[in-house]
Structure 1
Amino acid sequence: MASNSLYDMLINDSDFSKSDDDLEMLKAITMNEELLDSEIGSSSRRGSVRGRKVIHRDHIQGHERLFLNYFAESLVYPPELFRRRFRMKLVDIFSNEYLRSPNSNDIAKLLAVGESHGFSRMLGSSDCMHWKWKNCPTALKGMYTGHIHEPTIILEVVASYDLWIWQAFFGLPGSHNDINVLERSFLFTELAQGRAPTVNYAINGNEYIMGYYLADGIYPQWSTFEKTIPSPQGNKKKLFAAAQEATRKDVERAFGVLQARFAIVRRPACFWNTKMLKYIMKACIILHNMIIEDERDDNGVKDFNYDQIDDSPHVTVLQERTIELMEFIQCHHNIRDRQTHSHLQSDLVEQLWQLHSEL
């Protein structure tokens, strides 16, 4: 090579100084020339594109810098900044943990917290959010455009008092309303199949067999939903309406925190296919729940001592699927029972008024 010939020529030159400093400088020059020659020579035969220049990067140094930034004992970025600078592929790994339905222990805690807010056997709040789809294909714009007058994709969730998202159903076009989404979601699938935890309780002497969710006015009058009272008359109903609307804000706050943490779901979606959008939404919800779990104590959320609650419900999960058709149909009727919805609302109005009178 040219560098080797230059090295030999200078070494054999009688006028060239053969001090240690000169030799070291000469070696450095020749090594740089060899590296440059190798990059030029490799650019014509390596890489995915013919003729593209290959840049030799120091992967070991990059690994050491990543380790020192995030994983060393004296790390550069503290834990509270870790989630902002580092993202992992986690949907496949953590879905079973952070996108799960409430188990028996979770439901016992949710029911105890609902009791403390004056809503006996409440499981959370349910609502829908629209995510604008900027790059919606032209052929699909009519189907995905609803009352917002822009293409959107709907996310239906159930959130608890600490903003944990328990139920996440994403992907329906924005032309649907909340009732259409409810009919297609899996919110009551396990309940209809007889595999959901049993919740038996009594309010004002009336027996009930299902928990319920707080919802806004568009939701149907089912036994599994409790809505506010429009234009309430009388102090009792006014108190119930105010308490229901205040407690139902948990799901609205969950949407707000989710969008505040992840700009990708706050801004219009820029991807073309819905499969990628579903993956993004699930990943953001998993990260959201991870943060809720990590910061639960720091946020000052009341830590309930469930062992000391006298009327803590005994909840068991039924793993066997319902095989009798009549039982399956009966579960559907129980879920959609309007009469039970009215009775439950009346009992909750009286219960909240009694609690308010005792304060």
Structure 2
Amino acid sequence: MLQEFWRNELAEDAENIDERRMLQLYEQRQTIRQRAQSSSGRTQRRRYLNRDREVGHICLFNDYFSDDPVYPDDIFRRRFRMKKELFLRIVDVVKNHFEYFQWKVDAAGKKGLSPLQKYTTAIRQLAYGAPADHYDQYLRIAETTVIQCLFNFCRCVIEVFGAQYLRRPNAVDIQHLLEIHEQRHGFLDILGSLDWSRNDINVLNESPLFNDVLQGNAPEVNFTINNTQYTKGYYLTDEIYPEWTTFVKSFPCPRDPKRKIFKEQQEAARMDVERAFGVLQS
């Protein structure tokens, strides 16, 4: 009984010591914070900037969306990485699905940010990987709001388009991919390109992309090259990938003209996915 009593007393003392230490640490932090505030002479507060949000919308609208825009459609396609018709269709869908992207009036009776401003800043971040405050001067949007726009846009895209686009490709999708790659790059029956940056092997081992291939359930793609019949599609990769029949790599140091041309075309075709991953990494 006596030993149990002392054990309880020691446990309570240890708890009291821990509480005192926590209080001391809290008091020390409060003291440091108060000294920092007194040395600066004022308490730091969040500044309010009158960005004149409507000016940002008018400038954006006149540049790209008016009847006679400053920049034509080809420049819009290059800067927004999509056609204007697709851009406006997504804006309309996102605006109707999510209240955050609707044009509202604040408590002072002023119009807030337009759907075009919010959507543009999200797309520009995804397209170029720019920092959140990069477009403040042009679109008149604060850094924290820019981050919210990107987060809410991605969330909305997943909710609206996830069932259609964020899924495994079916037979119709695969045929469409084959046709696109053949028209754009000249490669017959190519499924796409792979580029997992400097962590290729680790990502490849953890990726479910080739589970269907290993289980024999991969979509059948029939084509013939050099009198050889193939029944599976393939991906363009760089030299770091393993020697799999589904990977087609370029020649490291080609000398004959045919191999040189193949290397140039293969690396040019891979640039699309490399740019996309570069943006996502940024």
TM-score (ref. length: structure 2): 0.46
Q: TM-score, length-normalised on structure 1?
A: 0.37
Query: Higher RCO, 1 or 2 (CA under 8 Å, sep at least 6)?
Result: 1
State which structure, 1 or 2, has the greater radius of gyration over its C-alpha atoms: 1
